Amino acid sequence: MLTLVAWKCANKDFLHMTRGNHEAKQVNHIYGFKGEVEAKFKDIGVYEAFSQLFCFLPLAYVINKKVMICHGGLPSYDGVTLADIRNTFRYI
């Protein structure tokens, strides 16, 4: 993860990181990301920093006004617009 963040900082136009379902704090805890970070870094602050980073990742990208990229597919109900995705509260 640190390598991806460093690469994103160095090459912001060449790497697009999106938020998926596993970037939610409660899911990170269930699937072991929290435990792995705490075991490797011995500091809860590192996990909290990752959690904050994940909250700011976009849910989707539109590239060249032609291609929408998102993690996990489209919503399960019809009528969702790009504005709906843009306005989704994700800071939890």
C-alpha pair distances (Å), 49 with each of 21, 24, 61, 73: 18, 13, 23, 27
61 domain-assigned: yes
Find the domain containing 52 and state its range. Answer: 15-86
Give long-range contacts, CB 8 A cutoff, 24+ apart: 32-39: none
Overall domain count for the chain? 1
64 domain-assigned: yes
22 is catalytic: yes
2 domain-assigned: no
Crossing angle of the two packed helices 33-41 and 44-56, in degrees rounded to 10: 130
The single residue of 16, 22, 29, 71 carrying the catalytic annotation is 22
Please list the pLDDT of the chain residue by residue as tens digits (92 residues).
889 999 999 988 888 888 887 888 888 889 999 999 999 998 889 999 999 999 889 888 888 999 888 887 667 788 888 898 888 877 76
Name the pTM for this structure: 0.74
24 domain-assigned: yes
